[in-house]
Amino acid sequence: MGMPKARIPTYHHGNLREALLDAAEVLLPQSGPEALTLREVARHAGVSHGAPYHHFESRDALLAAVAERGFSGLGEAMAAAAGVTARDRLVAVCEAYVDFAAGHPTRFRLMFGPLLASKARYPGLKAAAEQSFFLLLDAAKEVAPSQAMPLALAGWSMAHGLAHLRINQVFDTLPVAAPPEGELAGQLARWLLQHVGG
């Protein structure tokens, strides 16, 4: 009778999916989404190079999950924006959008990168991205029900452009002094709202 085969221990992680997403978020600012590999993410998370495939079929699937996380965080920031009036709340939503981008520049760039165009392939990303847009649209409806969509699109375009200018430090290159970056979103949103009827 031969000796019983020794059992090969299997690696168990409390929450492997979240650990992989955490690792990807740490690595993204260093390598960027184009250079990030599942092997590198696995190494950083302390798991085998095949482990990510238990949760993500590809690198793009992992990046889509990171972007989904980003939209969830953006949605939470926008939902928490408050104001005394509907107009104040819409201004606060714009400020929250720009502040989120400034606080998470790599994640923000990923969220609105090429993956967003194929969000239909990733239901979680699609749902989180659309939820954040509906938060903006609902805030615009409170201000101007008959002009909610153009107001939301104008506000989004303004906030998104401002966010990119801010995270790319473009205001530092202006030949004249600009208002403090932390105040610009509110100033521009209030200016936009001056041109909107009830």
Task: Look at residues 166, 130, 139, 161 and name the one whose alpha carbon lies nearest to residue 78.
Answer: 139
Among left, alpha and beta (phi > 0; psi -120 to 50; other), residue 8 is beta
Pair 72, 126: CB distance under 8 Å: no
CATH number for the domain spanning 39: value is 1.10.10.60
Write the CA distances from 127 to 20, 100, 119, 124, 132, integer angstroms. Answer: 21, 19, 9, 5, 9
pLDDT tens for the chain, residues 1 to 198:
454 444 333 345 568 889 999 999 999 998 888 888 899 999 998 888 888 888 899 999 999 999 999 999 999 999 999 999 999 999 999 999 999 999 999 999 999 998 889 899 999 999 999 999 999 999 999 999 999 999 999 999 999 999 999 999 998 898 988 888 888 899 999 998 987 865
* 165 and 98 assigned to the same domain: yes
**How many whole angstroms separate alpha carbon 116 and alpha carbon 112?**
6
* 52 and 71 assigned to the same domain: no
**How many whole angstroms separate alpha carbon 141 and alpha carbon 133?**
12
Structural domain count of the chain: 2
* 148 and 186 assigned to the same domain: yes
Q: What pLDDT score does 60 carry?
A: 93
* 43 and 77 assigned to the same domain: no
Residue 9 belongs to a domain: no
Residue 72 belongs to a domain: yes
* 182 and 93 assigned to the same domain: yes
Q: Please give the residue range of the domain that contains residue 90.
A: 66-193
Q: What pLDDT score does 151 carry?
A: 95
* 85 and 182 assigned to the same domain: yes
* 48 and 110 assigned to the same domain: no
**How many whole angstroms separate alpha carbon 194 and alpha carbon 121?**
40
* 94 and 132 assigned to the same domain: yes
Q: What pLDDT score does 122 carry?
A: 95
Q: What pLDDT score does 7 carry?
A: 37
